[in-house]
Amino acid sequence: MGKEYVFLEKKGEIATLYINRPDKKNALNFAMWHSIPNLLNQAEHDDEIKVLIIRGIDKTAFAAGADISEFTTLRSTAEGESIYNEAVSQAEESLSQFSKPTIAMVQKYCIGGGSLLALACDLRFSSESGIFGITPAKLGIVYSFFGTKRLVDLVGPARAKDILYSGRNIDAQEAYHYGLIDRIYSEDEIEANTYEYAQTLVRRSQKTIKGAKKIIGEIMNGIMQPSTEIQQLLDGSYESEDYKEGVKAFLEKRPPNFVEI
| Most confident listed range (59-73, 184-198, 212-226) | 184-198
| pLDDT in the model for residue 25 | 96
Sign of dihedral through CA atoms 136, 137, 139, 141? Answer: positive
pTM, two decimals, is 0.93
Q: What pLDDT, in 10s, does the model give residues 250-261?
A: 999 999 999 888
Q: What pLDDT, in 10s, does the model give residues 13-60?
A: 999 999 999 999 999 999 999 999 999 999 999 999 999 999 999 999
Q: How far apart are CA 213 and CA 219, in angstroms?
A: 10
Q: What pLDDT, in 10s, does the model give residues 213-241?
A: 999 999 998 988 999 999 999 999 999 99
| pLDDT in the model for residue 72 | 76
Q: How far apart are CA 128 and CA 143, in angstroms?
A: 26
Q: How far apart are CA 98 and CA 120, in angstroms?
A: 10
| pLDDT in the model for residue 93 | 95
Looking at the predicted structure, is the pLDDT value of residue 1 above 60?
Answer: no
Ordered structural domains, the chain, with CATH: 6-201 (3.90.226.10), 205-252 (1.10.12)
Start-to-end C-alpha separation, the chain: 28
The three-state secondary structure class of 139 is coil
Q: Looking only at Cα atoms, what is the longest distance across the chain?
A: 65
- Contact (CB, 8 A) for 26 and 67: no
- Contact (CB, 8 A) for 234 and 222: no
Q: How far apart are CA 84 and CA 212, in angstroms?
A: 33
| pLDDT in the model for residue 261 | 82
Comparing CA positions, the residue from 105, 35, 95 lying closest to residue 63 is 105
- Contact (CB, 8 A) for 216 and 102: no
CA distances 197 to 60, 88, 101, 142, Å, are: 22, 28, 11, 35
